[in-house]
């Protein structure tokens, strides 16, 4: 065997890493022209290569029915090590960018020239070469961005400069290089980099650069502007010393100290005007900190993720939620490098949108060792956003909650004195009496002083109302109009919008400022100084004046900021007062809600849809559209009760009009949308009933054949997942429409995959999963489902390298749509892999992350979430022989979620010695085993076999266990030597032959060959708990024989 053929054969086996037929290997080895003696020659090559690999002890070539396969213990090849380091490095970037970047550099160091040069001329392996080249570029960009965020600009430049020659069209690399050059003080070179990119794209491809590249170029050409991502602000200079609050300030100082090496937070609650913001700003000022600020305002900026834009300067609809999350992490690490920590001040969190709160929580949760300090102010600890943020920060560090009480009368007297001093007046009043009527509230005390300064006699029973009223009484007619508009806008009007208001002349703005009713920020935004002022101004306005104010704001927004559909929709809804305006407002809400849904701002989409419905449109089409959006958004966040109600409301309209096509379209939205989403797939199947689907199918003759086929395919999937009869019949009826439409073909093919979810059909399912990716047609969610099912098949086959590769591709694919739904699915995939390899600390940490995001779910969704958490904990307990400790929890889950949790109770009872209960449950569960098929087989058989094995060890129950096992025998006879993965691909129970061999031993046959094979399969897959289980079983059987 020549050295060249030796290298080529080893490279082919390394790239394949799954059983490969001798014919395929020969065809590749001899470039499509194998000699007649190829079979014998290849056997000789394999034999000699095995001898050469034997001394390694970790790499071998196995012969399986499907052909030859290279087996490695751990990451024994460069390709395996590359996949491992790349995955670990990319995961680490968010929590520890320095460690993540070094891991990526180790991965990049594996390149020692062009990869796979031995087989580069074989066309079949060109996709692998392309993948490796793209992967290398991605890793370089990711590592360089991390180094840039850490302040190692020159290291980033050194990494990216060669890429400019190797990949002249990669805009992401060019932008990162330009930023690194700018940060290194080489702005001219940074501009030149982007201009060269622009020329290359134009001359060679006829393309213009992307919007992000154009924006960066403009930023570099106008260096005086604040970079889009830099929203941190310096402490307010000249702030007066804080009056009182000594103990509270000390509490915040302890939080500050705790945030030096890990996230820490303080949540400050209290009445309006009590001094929450002053206390938070005092902390920032005393420590000379640079803070990122969010100031919550009612209505205000209604755009999806508006708070993220305010804090980081990133619009999610432009680059996607996942990319924004990565950018947020990078900016936080840049803060830490530049200032020692990243500080956030979230003021009036009750006005923070839930989608932004969840995204912040997601980013902070992934940074356990980051110096992040978060100060939140709000009205109530019960606020959902406050709870989301608190739960995220508690995962890694100290979180303190404090509620501010009233200041002492003596302290309020100091407030009064300071206010009169600042106003430059010395009124003849009893200051002690004023302080006594300040209710311990600094804002009220200040407002009383303002009223006195204006010559008014304050009503000490309603001091704020009197003080603001006195100032409002001083306003001109134009000033009153502008004040109402400012109050109706949430207390904040942006410069572009202000310019469109006829009443906002400079003199009128100055009038509001001189009376202390408004302030102008550095960027020209007009703001009220406090929410109580806004509330008082609105309270004076009549209903018609408020409606008029909202209408004016909406019109100004439509002219100045037409892209801000969400804010326009909110103000149009608030100003709807007749048939025409209500219809227009509903249309605005529908369009804005749909855009929010497309941006993964699911909570905002639901809110906007509800607003649209609240104006009472009499257009049936609008009502249906709004309810469909509400139902889809509610499904994504796991609020199944709201989703069911919304879909039924849409269907009710269609039913009344006997519009069965529209009802069928609603039914499609209410049914499971594949398995790539945790809530939209797993959750819908587990939580809802299909009355709409059945109702629509009852009118199938009046439906488009493609719609009916999609409904039948979805019903087939649901029935097979739940183990109910009729799935095959529904699939057969759906398949009559195959070939009519790509979307229809996709859903029929997906249902076919689910009906075949058994170990004996692995190769068929791998083919189907590949077809699904082809049929996905660029749809992110469909491609995510296809990739997920491909990685499930790869894991079943024990091909960990392909599993890692597909998982990486899954994560990249959903990057633009990585909302809660898909993110949760990916999290549970990681939990499964951690449990498979016995990494229980990792599985518990991931489970805690999930628990942190389910606090505001509906009751039904919370039960499903708890079922997932319980399943994860039960697998760990089972591995430790402690499953019996969880039986009470699963008794509850049987009644509330799924009867199949009785399987866990049966196994736990058998292992705990409660054989009678275990036998009774096993008998009941297998009564209809002859009819089982599809994914329910995989869900039931492994745990039942384990239960029966435990029973077979008891003399009194061995015979009964054997009889029950005969009911399952036909289901396991042809199980392959892969791994068992249950629907929807989030639970792996180790080698299939573990259960086939165990079943054989229960039935009195020799199961040891299968159990020895189970040891090998588990060892190759790194499934340590199952390798140990198989070895113990062999020992148990050997002991019984002896």
Q: What are phi and psi of 1039, to 5 degrees?
A: -65, -40
- What lies within 8 Å, CB to CB, of 677 at 6+ separation is 636, 781, 784, 821, 822, 824, 825
Percent of the chain at pLDDT > 70 equals 90
pLDDT at 317: 61
* CA–CA dist 785, 782 (Å, integer): 5
Mean pLDDT of 831-835: 91
DSSP lists the bridge partners of residue 401 as: 267
Mean pLDDT of 793-801: 86
pLDDT at 703: 92
* CA–CA dist 374, 266 (Å, integer): 6
Q: Confirm if 788 and 821 have CB atoms less than 8 A apart.
A: no
DSSP readout, 834-888?
A: HHHTT-HHHHHHHHHHHHTT-TTS-HHHHHHHHHHHHHHHHHHHHHTT-GGGGHH
- What lies within 8 Å, CB to CB, of 380 at 6+ separation is 269, 350, 386
Pick from 699, 700, 705, 624: nearest CA to 669: 624
- What lies within 8 Å, CB to CB, of 286 at 6+ separation is 249
Mean pLDDT of 928-936: 85
pLDDT at 228: 47
Q: Where in the chain is the domain with CATH 3.40.50?
A: 232-246+253-398
Model confidence over 218-230: pLDDT tens digits?
888 875 444 445 5
* CA–CA dist 412, 440 (Å, integer): 6
pLDDT at 458: 64
Model confidence over 335-371: pLDDT tens digits?
888 888 999 999 999 989 888 998 898 888 878 888 9
DSSP readout, 129-154?
A: HHHHHHHHHHHHHHHHHHHHHTT-HH
The two tokens of residue 959 are 């015979």
Model confidence over 984-1027: pLDDT tens digits?
888 999 999 999 999 999 999 999 999 999 998 898 888 999 99
**Does residue 518 register a pLDDT over 70?**
yes
Between 3.90.550, 1.20.120, 1.10.10, 3.10.620, what CATH number should domain 475-547 receive? 1.10.10
Give the residue with greater pLDDT, 371 vs 235.
371
- Produce one character per residue of 817-837: b if its CB has 16 or more CB atoms within 10 Å, e if not: bbbbbbbbbbbbbbbbbbbbb
| CATH number belonging to domain 3-72 | 1.10.10.10
What is the chain's alpha carbon radius of gyration, rounded to the nearest angstrom?
Answer: 33
pLDDT at 416: 87
For the ranges 13-17, 313-317, 910-914, 966-970, the lowest mean pLDDT is seen at: 313-317
* CA–CA dist 298, 863 (Å, integer): 33
For the ranges 460-469, 838-847, 973-982, the lowest mean pLDDT is seen at: 460-469
Q: Does domain 81-221 have CATH number 1.25.40.10?
A: yes
Mean pLDDT of the chain: 85
**Does residue 686 register a pLDDT over 80?**
no
Model confidence over 271-302: pLDDT tens digits?
888 889 999 999 999 998 989 999 887 765 56
Helix and strand numbers, DSSP H then E, in the chain: 51, 13
Give the residue with greater pLDDT, 186 vs 236.
186
| CATH number belonging to domain 844-1041 | 1.25.40
3-state secondary structure of 269: strand
* CA–CA dist 986, 537 (Å, integer): 55
**Does residue 462 register a pLDDT over 80?**
no
Cβ neighbours of 1042 (radius 10 Å): 5
**Does residue 632 register a pLDDT over 60?**
yes
Give the residue with greater pLDDT, 489 vs 127.
489
Q: Confirm if 534 and 503 have CB atoms less than 8 A apart.
A: no
pLDDT at 1: 43
Model confidence over 724-735: pLDDT tens digits?
889 999 999 999
**Does residue 824 register a pLDDT over 70?**
yes
Q: Please name the residue that has the structure tokens 């094979």.
A: 1013
pLDDT at 932: 86
For the ranges 151-160, 412-421, 452-461, 573-582, the lowest mean pLDDT is seen at: 452-461
Under the banding of pLDDT at 50, 70 and 90, the label for residue 767 is very high
pLDDT at 948: 96
Report in angstroms the alpha-carbon separations of 47 from 1, 40, 54, 897: 10, 11, 11, 54
Question: Strand 399-403 to strand 264-269: parallel, antiparallel, or no bridges (unpaired)?
Answer: parallel
Q: Please name the residue that has the structure tokens 């469109």.
A: 500
- What lies within 8 Å, CB to CB, of 512 at 6+ separation is 475, 479, 482, 483, 486, 518, 526
Model confidence over 32-87: pLDDT tens digits?
888 888 888 888 888 888 888 888 777 888 887 778 888 776 555 777 788 788 87
Q: Confirm if 642 and 859 have CB atoms less than 8 A apart.
A: no
Model confidence over 389-423: pLDDT tens digits?
998 888 788 899 989 988 888 888 998 888 888 88
pLDDT at 547: 95
Give the residue with greater pLDDT, 457 vs 936.
936
3-state secondary structure of 265: strand
Pick from 375, 367, 373: nearest CA to 345: 375
pLDDT at 4: 75
Mean pLDDT of 543-558: 95
**Does residue 1041 register a pLDDT over 70?**
no
The two tokens of residue 202 are 């134009």
**Does residue 642 register a pLDDT over 80?**
yes
pLDDT at 682: 56
**Does residue 320 register a pLDDT over 80?**
no
| CATH number belonging to domain 232-246+253-398 | 3.40.50
pLDDT at 236: 54
**Does residue 867 register a pLDDT over 90?**
no
Under the banding of pLDDT at 50, 70 and 90, the label for residue 231 is low
Q: Where in the chain is the domain with CATH 1.10.10.10?
A: 3-72
Under the banding of pLDDT at 50, 70 and 90, the label for residue 741 is confident
- Omega of the bond prior to 984 within 30 degrees of 0, cis? yes
pLDDT at 232: 59
- What lies within 8 Å, CB to CB, of 43 at 6+ separation is 22
**Does residue 892 register a pLDDT over 70?**
yes
Q: Confirm if 502 and 510 have CB atoms less than 8 A apart.
A: no
* CA–CA dist 28, 781 (Å, integer): 35
Model confidence over 151-177: pLDDT tens digits?
888 888 988 888 878 888 888 889 889
């Amino acid at each position: 065997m020549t050295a060249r053929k030796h290298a080529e054969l080893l490279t082919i086996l390394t790239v394949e890493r799954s059983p490969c037929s001798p014919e395929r290997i020969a065809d590749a080895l001899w470039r499509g022209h194998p000699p007649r003696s190829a079979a014998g020659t290849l056997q000789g090559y394999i034999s000699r290569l095995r001898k050469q690999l034997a001394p390694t002890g970790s790499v071998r070539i196995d012969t399986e029915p499907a052909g030859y396969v290279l087996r490695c213990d751990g990451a024994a090849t460069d390709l395996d090590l590359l996949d491992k380091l790349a995955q670990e490095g990319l995961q680490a970037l968010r929590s520890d960018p320095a460690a993540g970047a070094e891991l990526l550099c180790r991965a990049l160091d594996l390149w020692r020239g062009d990869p796979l040069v031995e087989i580069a001329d074989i066309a079949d392996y060109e996709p692998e070469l392309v993948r490796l080249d793209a992967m290398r570029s991605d890793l370089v960009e990711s590592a360089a961005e991390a180094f840039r965020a850490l302040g190692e600009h020159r290291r980033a430049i050194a990494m990216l400069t060669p890429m400019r020659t190797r990949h002249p069209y990669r805009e992401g690399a060019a932008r990162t290089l330009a930023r690194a050059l700018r940060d290194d003080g080489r702005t001219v070179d940074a501009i030149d980099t982007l201009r060269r990119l622009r020329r290359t794209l134009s001359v060679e491809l006829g393309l213009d650069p992307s919007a992000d590249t154009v924006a960066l170029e403009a930023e570099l050409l106008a260096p005086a502007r604040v970079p889009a991502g830099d929203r941190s602000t310096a402490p307010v200079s000249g702030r007066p010393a804080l009056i009182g609050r000594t103990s509270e300030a000390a509490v915040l100082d302890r939080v500050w100290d705790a945030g030096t090496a890990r996230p820490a937070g303080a949540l400050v609650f209290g009445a309006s005007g009590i001094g929450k913001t002053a206390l938070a700003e005092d902390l920032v000022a005393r420590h000379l900190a640079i803070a990122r600020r969010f100031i919550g305002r009612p209505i205000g900026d209604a755009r999806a993720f508006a708070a993220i834009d305010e804090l980081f300067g990133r619009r999610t609809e432009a680059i996607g939620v996942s990319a924004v999350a990565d950018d947020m992490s990078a900016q936080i690490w840049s803060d830490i490098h530049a200032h020692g920590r990243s500080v956030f001040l979230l003021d009036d969190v009750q006005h923070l949108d839930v989608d932004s709160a969840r995204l912040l929580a997601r980013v902070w949760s992934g940074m356990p060792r980051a110096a992040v300090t978060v100060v939140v102010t709000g009205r109530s600890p019960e606020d959902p956003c406050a709870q989301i943020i608190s739960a995220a920060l508690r995962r890694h560090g100290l979180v303190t909650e404090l509620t501010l009480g009233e200041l002492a009368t003596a302290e309020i007297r100091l407030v009064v004195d300071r206010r009169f001093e600042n106003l430059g007046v010395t009124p003849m009043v009893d200051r002690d009496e004023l302080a006594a009527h300040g209710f311990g509230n600094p804002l009220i005390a200040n407002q009383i002083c303002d009223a006195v300064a204006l010559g008014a006699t304050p009503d000490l029973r309603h001091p704020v109302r009197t003080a603001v009223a006195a100032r409002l009484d001083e306003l001109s007619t134009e000033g009153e109009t502008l004040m109402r508009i400012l109050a109706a806008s949430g207390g904040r009007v942006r410069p572009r919008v202000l310019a469109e208001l006829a009443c906002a002349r400079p003199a009128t703005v100055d009038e509001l400022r001189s009376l202390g009713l408004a302030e102008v920020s550095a960027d020209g935004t007009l703001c009220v100084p406090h929410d109580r002022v806004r509330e008082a101004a609105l309270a004076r306005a009549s209903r018609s004046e408020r409606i008029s104010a909202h209408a004016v704001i909406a019109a100004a927004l439509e002219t100045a900021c037409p892209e801000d559909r969400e804010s326009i929709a909110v103000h149009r809804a608030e100003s709807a007062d007749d048939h025409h305006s209500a219809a227009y407002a509903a249309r605005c809400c529908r369009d804005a809600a749909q855009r929010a849904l497309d941006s993964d701002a699911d909570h905002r989409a639901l809110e906007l849809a509800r607003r649209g419905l609240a104006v009472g449109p009499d257009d049936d089409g609008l009502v249906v559209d709004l309810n469909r959006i509400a139902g889809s958004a509610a499904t994504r966040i796991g609020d199944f009760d709201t989703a069911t109600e919304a879909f039924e409301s849409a269907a009710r309209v269609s039913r009344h009009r006997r519009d069965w096509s529209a009802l069928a379209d609603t039914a499609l939205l209410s049914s499971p949308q594949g398995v790539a989403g945790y809530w939209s797939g797993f959750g819908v199947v587990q939580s809802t009933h299909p009355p709409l689907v059945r109702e629509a199918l009852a009118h199938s003759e009046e439906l488009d054949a493609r719609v009916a086929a999609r409904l039948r395919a979805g019903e087939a999937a649901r029935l097979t997942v739940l183990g109910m009869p009729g799935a095959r019949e529904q699939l057969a009826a759906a398949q009559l429409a195959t070939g009519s439409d790509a979307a229809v073909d996709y859903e029929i093919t997906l249902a076919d995959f689910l009906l075949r979810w058994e170990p004996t059909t692995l190769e068929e399912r791998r083919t189907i999963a590949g077809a699904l990716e082809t049929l996905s047609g660029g749809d992110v969610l469909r491609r995510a489902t296809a990739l997920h099912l491909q990685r499930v098949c790869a894991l079943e086959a024990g091909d960990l390298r392909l599993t890692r590769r597909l998982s990486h591709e899954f994560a990249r694919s959903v990057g633009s749509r990585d909302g809660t739904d898909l993110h949760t699915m990916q999290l549970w995939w990681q939990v499964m892999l951690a449990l498979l390899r016995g990494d229980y600390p990792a599985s518990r940490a991931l489970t805690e992350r999930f628990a942190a995001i389910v606090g505001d779910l509906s009751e039904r969704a919370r039960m499903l979430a708890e079922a997932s958490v319980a399943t994860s904990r039960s697998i760990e307990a089972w591995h430790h022989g402690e499953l019996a400790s969880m039986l009470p929890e699963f008794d509850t889950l049987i009644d509330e979620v799924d009867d199949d949790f009785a399987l866990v109770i049966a196994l736990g009872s058998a292992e705990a010695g409660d054989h009678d209960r275990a036998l009774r449950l096993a008998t009941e569960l297998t009564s209809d085993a002859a009819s089982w098929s599809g994914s329910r087989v995989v869900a039931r058989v492994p745990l039942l076999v384990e239960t029966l094995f435990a029973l077979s060890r008891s003399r009194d129950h061995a015979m009964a266990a054997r009889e029950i096992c005969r009911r399952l025998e036909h289901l396991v006879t042809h199980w392959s030597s892969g791994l068992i993965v249950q629907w929807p691909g989030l639970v792996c129970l180790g080698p299939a032959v573990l259960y086939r061999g165990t079943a054989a031993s229960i039935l009195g046959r020799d199961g040891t060959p299968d159990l020895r094979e189970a040891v090998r399969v588990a060892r190759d897959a790194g499934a340590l708990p199952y390798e140990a289980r198989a070895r113990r079983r062999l020992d148990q059987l050997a002991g019984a024989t002896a």
